[in-house]
Amino acid sequence: MSNLFIVESPSKAKTIEKYLGKKFKVMASMGHIRDLPKSDFGIDVENDFAPKYISIRGKSDLIRSLKKEAQKADMVYLATDPDREGEAISWHLSTLLGLEPDRCKRVVFNEITKTALKSAVAAPTDINMNLVNAQQARRVLDRIVGYKLSPFLWRKVKKGLSAGRVQSVATAMIVDREEEIRAFVPKEYWTLNADFTDSDGSNKIEAKFYGTPKGSIEINNETDATRIYNELQESTFKISSIKRAEKRKSPAPPFITSTLQQEASRRFNFQAKRTMKAAQELYEGVNIKGVGLVGLITYMRTDSLRISDEAANAAKEHIISTYGESYYPPARRYFKTKKSAQDAHEAIRPSNITITPEQAKLTCTPDQYRIYKLIYDRFLASQMAEAVYDTLNAEITDGKYVFKAACQVLKFKGFTAAYQETEKEKNHRKLYKVEEGDEMTLQALSKDQNFTQPPSRYTEASLIKALEENEIGRPSTFVPIITTILAREYVERDGKTLKPTALGEVTTKLMKDHFASIVDYDFTAQLETELDKVEEGSAEWQAIVGHFYDLFIKTLEQAEKNLTERVKLPEEVTEEICPNCGKNLVVKSGRFGKFLACPGYPECRFTKTIVIDTQVPCPKCGGKILQKRSKSGKTYYGCEHNPTCDFMTWDEPLTQRCEKCGAPLFKRSGRGRETYCSNSACGKQEASNE
């Protein structure tokens, strides 16, 4: 008996082939094989919004190969990813390959291990049409917005613009935050911090000004701060109260997609796309020394905190054998998943707890290792005992004013032996040795002016958190949302933060004025809930799409009537002068990114590439290395003295110098991203620590 086993990616196929044996031929669909046409609306509105799918261009050879193997096979197992997109790909495969129901089965697994695969093959199911319909509904809704709204934006704002249903909301969130920052009025406040010592000077206590015995006091100006400061200089102090307690801290739950992206951003400064790329590779399979090709983690697109009994038991054994009985809690830990979560998958965890990060490090890339260690340590810690601290809180008073001091000492490491949630938790070596009634001497007192800070711009991590909290999008859509709004230049990066462009702000205002529901958080979240109902089988996808379509088309027609003039985009004027006509050059966006152009177009057609000084000297001639863009839009680095100096590289120049010889360092482009010395005689090279 011959079996065809179809997955989405070729790397996953290699891992699975190893476990299933010779009776199975494993092939990859390379993602979707059918989609709506790019050049046509592709939705039959009059026929209950029936999508008109076509084969994706460039996949004809692959489809022929899949058909040929499917015809030879006795059974075809559709093993695409275990989510809506994966279910839809399986349905498209079954339709396009002409598979009869009795010769086609769906298999779902959360991890690529021999046990999981054997179990999945032993208990195949039929394609879940509720999941397929939920995906179809999302695809049709997005096509309606994109196809109908984009031409409107071309006419009213700028040619070539495109609109997205969820992307417009994400852009609006970034614009709203920018408006909050601009509207923010800082408020002044003052803080007083003191160092006290006991009578013999052996015990130093750091304390913060609190207020009076009646309650806290806000110090809002220098006059009040100076008055209190001067009064305290003449005072005598004593400990008015002492509270000693034992504090217990529970571990955080294992990762879901959003929290993994947030933590990788916080710890490693990884963009969400980079995190998910490494996680995808870990899930699909990595060659581990002594083990072979193995999927290291469970499915990485999930919002469920559920853990299988098998995984929890394996973690228990590992914790006890590695750390001891006391490091395992009295009862197994369970974490509550939010109501809107899709509970089909587990949380993200190692598929085999016995493969440690240290073992994986031998063959993983630096990115893979960092993400694996993060997932491994967090999962292990989530199943461990609480950390225990001895704490002391003291109040120090002169009778009129009160200072508060606090300290804690780690008594029992618990889960922190495996995973530190903060980079370094502030713990004292020992508790303050003081008692109630002890007299204290004011050793030092500082008086500091402060101002309240505006809300921070979103980073990728905080935007993902906000999207999740507002129930906008799902684990599989967070990265595409951010990628899209950056690619469309509605948003740009400013260091680690995301800020709206002029285009993003103008487009968002237009959307708020004329398409309020599209950028309304609650409306978008409600639509996600409706899609969840389709997935559960409690709602018809056509009815949801139909209701949205009727409302949207009426809104679009009204907007066409109301907005009669084209919206003008503000130009970013620079200090650079056009050499032809003397006007200040402006920043323009083109096919391959931003460039400088004369505002006198079409009379003056002068343009200039934007170059960025990297502040790194050319290793050939000592001139400046400039960041430039090729004709295809790819970033490269070249000497300012080109063509006299022919130095050019795709690798990123670093401002740090080689410790060995003092020459400039470079970071290789592409996979691995090793740092190396530009001095070939030096030969220094090291793995990236990103």
pLDDT tens for residues 46-60? 999 999 999 999 999
Contact 494, 223 (CB under 8 A): no
Helix (H, G, I), strand (E, B) or coil at 649: strand
pLDDT digits (tens, 9 = 90+) for 363-417: 999 999 999 999 999 999 999 999 999 999 999 999 999 999 999 999 999 999 9
Reported as a pLDDT band with limits 50, 70 and 90, residue 18 is: confident
User: What ranges make up the beta strands (E) of 263-401?
Assistant: 286-288, 292-294, 387-397
pLDDT of 53 reads: 96
Q: Where are the alpha helices (DSSP H) in 501-571?
A: 502-514, 521-536, 541-562
Mean pLDDT of 313-327: 97
Give me the catalytic one of 299, 323, 328, 549: 299
Residue 107: pLDDT over 80? yes
For residue 579, give the amino acid letter. Answer: P
412 and 388 Cβ atoms separated by less than 8 Å: yes
Residues in the chain: 690
**pLDDT in the model for residue 602:** 87
Per the model's pLDDT, the better-predicted residue between 508 and 576 turns out to be 508
In this prediction, residue 631 carries a pLDDT of: 66
pLDDT at 338: 74
Q: Give the pLDDT confidence of 248-297 residue by residue, as tens digits.
A: 999 999 999 999 999 999 999 899 999 999 999 999 999 998 888 899 99
pLDDT band (50, 70, 90) for residue 592 = low
Whether 636 is catalytic is no
The yes-or-no verdict on residue 690 having pLDDT over 50 is no
- What is the architecture of the domain spanning 3-127? 3-Layer(aba) Sandwich (3.40)
pLDDT band at 613 (very low <50, low <70, confident <90, very high): confident
Q: What integer pLDDT is reported at residue 686 of this predicted model?
A: 63
What letter represents residue 571's amino acid? E
Would you place residue 443 in the very low, low, confident or very high pLDDT band (cuts 50, 70, 90)?
very high
DSSP class of residue 660 equals T
Averaged pLDDT of the chain: 91
Q: In CATH, what is the architecture of 146-181+474-562?
A: Orthogonal Bundle (1.10)
Per-residue pLDDT at 687 exceeds 80: no
Distance CA 316, CA 320 (A): 6
pLDDT band at 311 (very low <50, low <70, confident <90, very high): very high
Inform me whether the pLDDT recorded for 314 exceeds 60.
yes
Q: Which residue has the tokens 């004011």?
A: 442
| Residue 689 pLDDT greater than 50, yes or no | no
Q: What is the pLDDT of residue 512?
A: 94
Q: Is 90 exceeded by the pLDDT of residue 179?
A: yes
| In the chain, where the domains are located | 3-127, 146-181+474-562, 188-250+387-451, 261-381, 572-609, 612-686
User: What confidence score (pLDDT) does residue 568 get?
Assistant: 83
d(CA 95, CA 100): 9
pLDDT of residue 688: 47
Q: Does domain 188-250+387-451 have CATH number 2.70.20.10?
A: yes
Pick the CATH number of 261-381 from 3.30.70.20, 1.25.40.10, 1.10.290.10, 3.40.50.720: 1.10.290.10
Residues 203-225 pLDDT 10s:
899 999 999 999 999 999 999 99
The closest of 381, 488, 442, 476 to 134, measured between CA atoms, is: 476
574 confidence band (pLDDT: 50, 70, 90): confident
